[in-house]
Structure 1
Amino acid sequence: MDPQTALDPRYSDDKAGAMPWPKAEERLAAAEVYWLTTVRPEGRPHVTPLIAVWSQGALHFCTGPDERKARNLTGNRSVVLTTGTPTLGEGFDLVVEGEAARVTDEDRLRALAEAYVEKYGEEWRFEVRDGAFVGDGGTALVFAVAPRTAFGFAKGEPFGQTRWRF
């Protein structure tokens, strides 16, 4: 399903156009580092960098079951994932809002494990066991975040803000 796409004229140059969602998906797939925001039990945000893969319309990340982000997700599945260019005058930033859903299907996990190796190399090879990734660092739970709303921020000329609603 294609999202509803709109350019926000309040934050966009007159020459800007809305980025088509397939182009945003390409950027999400190509990014190497993402920032995940979760919510602590007392309501404070927690932000951490991580790696992820884009597959079947969702960003997928993994984390140890005892890590802060995993503990936060047990109480509140709402997350924000961001990626982009750390410059002001050029590049494109993306923000994905959604809900983290645990992935436990072993066929799906095997495909995701292979996607990690394809994207990040052999040092990110995982085995799949008991509905999770298993690697040198131990067990890692895998989560999928399908966008509920996403934003794209074109920097430079022309600057613009695209919103996608799913």
Structure 2
Amino acid sequence: MTAPAGALDARFSQPEEPATEWSAVQAALEDAEIFWVSSLQQDGELHVTPLIAVWSEGALHFCTGPTEQKARNLERHPQCALTTGTNAFSGLDVVVHGEAVPLTDDSALTSLAASYVRKYGEDWRFSVKDGAFDSEDGGRAVVFRVEPTTVMAFSKEPFTQTRFRFRDERPA
């Protein structure tokens, strides 16, 4: 993935501060343990829930049971946002906007399953079967890939807001 150019929003940034570098944002996405996914319910209400995710090959990946609310929401409205960061006045908060697309290629899923174990440990070991993750207890999980259309980085040391634009982004 080519590093996208970041555009500092001076309205929400301390004077004379530079934009956050993409390398810092990517490191935050790779290292974050918890993300919050926001999706749209059928009645138009937002649904927000925590989950784990893996940054791999230029996208965030997460899994969920096929009957869970977020899976049903994303089936109807694939646009979503994944958020991670801290609940303190330090660090970097990141919001990834994109479209959640089911990942069903067994080869890609096998590679991603290994990434889950590397990041989260043995409790998150999945096998791959018929285009989805399977767990030891027989549970099946749909895997979603979210390629960013926009990434917002909110630095709190110093305060800056940086927008990274990717392909196919809708106008702001």
TM-score range, shorter chain: over 0.9
Q: Which residue of 2 aligns with 1:134?
A: 134
Partner residue, 1:121:
121
SS of 1:43 mapped into structure 2: coil
Of 105-114 and 19-28, deviating more is: 19-28
Note the 1:87-166 alignment, pairs <5 A.
87=88, 89-135=89-135, 136=137, 138-156=139-157, 158-166=158-166
1:123-163 CA distance string (max 9 Å, x none): 0000100000001360000000011001000113x210000
Q: State the match for 1:35 in structure 2.
A: 36
- Superposed CA RMSD: 1.0
CA-CA distance at 1:2 after TM superposition: 3.4
Q: Would you identify which runs of 4 or more consecutive aligned residues in structure 1 move more than 2 Å?
A: 1-4
What is the CA distance between 1:53 and its match in structure 2?
0.3
User: Does 2:62 correspond to 1:66?
Assistant: no
TM-score normalised according to structure 2 size: 0.92
Aligned-pair CA distance for 1:4: 3.5
Q: Deviations over 1:95-125 (max 9, x none)?
A: 0000001100000000000000000000000
The percent identity for this pair of structures is: 53
**What is the letter of the counterpart of residue 3 of structure 2?**
D
In structure 2, stretches of 5+ residues that fail to align are: 167-172
Partners in 1 of 2:12 and 2:20 — Cα distance? 14
Output the CA distance in 2 between the equivalents of 1:44 and 1:4.
33
Unaligned runs of 5+ in 1: none
Offset at residue 55 of structure 1 (A): 0.1
